[in-house]
Every structure is written in C-alpha cells, then in structure tokens.
C-alpha cells in the first residue's frame, strides 16, 4: 500500500513539473505606450496651418513666451477631461497632442475644442481626422473660451 501511495505521489509530482501553457485572453487591451512603427497621421490627413476651422475663434495671438499660469490651468483641465481620448506622444482614441501646432493653427485647435460638432460637420481636416480615427467623435466638453485658451497654452509646452 505504501508503494502505491508513493508511486501516485511521484506521478503527481512529475506531472506538475511539466511546461505551463500560457493562456490567451480574448479581451480588449489598451496600451498607453508609444509604438514606433505607427504613423501619427496618415497621408489622408493634411498638415494645414492656414485653416482656422469653424467656430467662434477667428484670431489667436501667442506671446513669444509661454504664460506659465495659463499653461498650468490648461494642464489641469487637459488632465481632467482630455486624457480619456488623447495622449501626449501617441495615438489613442484621438491624435497625439505633442507638436499639434506644427500641424494645425491655434485658431483651428481652439475651434475644435470649443465647437467639435460644427468642425466635424464642416471642416475638411476634422472630417479627415474623424475617418482616420474610426469615426470616434470628439465630444463637446462645454469649455469657455478662457478655458480653451488655457488648454491651447498648455499644448504649446508639449
């Protein structure tokens, strides 16, 4: 009887030392790391610094130096509402924000913040971005012009 128990224990020990198989999960995972092989925007979304967009903002004049108080308020607002869809350096639901003023005019950025519905209906760049990002619409966050200007100032720091 002792030999049978010893034999069974030895068999269990040997079976447990076998190679473990990694289980694959069929769930959705979001990675917030930057992927070097993905382009930030495809050739279908043009760079246009002359387009001011559709909305209340007709002119934005940035001072030569960043207003740190305004940028701090903008960073707080960005972290509260924008990070759900935008990362600084990588694609997510929406485009990366780093270098946005190398691709868009300040007026366009502020009009997109303040009037995303109108921009998505009428602006060709906003329409192209909508298509590029799988029809994920930017929701209106109902910011004031001052709050949008704070966020715009913060985007200058990226």
* Non-local CB neighbours of 84 within 8 Å, separated by 6+ positions: 93
pTM equals 0.69
pLDDT tens digits, 60-74: 888 889 899 999 999
d(CA 41, CA 99) in angstroms, rounded, equals: 12
C-alpha 145/C-alpha 69 separation (Å) is 16
pLDDT in tens, 104-151: 999 999 999 999 999 999 999 999 998 988 888 888 999 999 999 999
Question: CA–CA separation, 40 vs 5, rounded Å?
Answer: 63
* Gap between the Cα atoms of 119 and 78, Å rounded: 20
């Amino acid at each position: 009887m002792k030999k049978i128990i010893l034999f069974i224990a030895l068999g269990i020990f040997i079976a447990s030392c076998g190679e473990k198989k990694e289980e694959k999960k069929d769930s959705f995972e979001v990675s917030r790391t930057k992927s070097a092989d993905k382009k930030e925007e495809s050739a279908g979304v043009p760079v246009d610094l002359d387009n001011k967009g559709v909305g209340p903002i007709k002119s934005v004049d940035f001072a030569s130096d960043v207003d740190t108080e305004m940028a701090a308020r903008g960073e707080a607002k960005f972290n509260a509402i924008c990070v759900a869809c935008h990362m600084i350096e990588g694609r997510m639901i929406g485009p990366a924000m780093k270098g946005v003023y190398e691709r868009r005019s300040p007026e366009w950025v502020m009009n997109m913040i303040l009037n995303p519905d109108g921009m998505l209906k009428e602006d060709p760049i906003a329409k192209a971005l909508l298509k590029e990002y799988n029809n994920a619409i930017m929701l209106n966050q109902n910011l004031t012009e001052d709050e949008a200007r704070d966020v715009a100032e913060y985007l200058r720091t990226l």
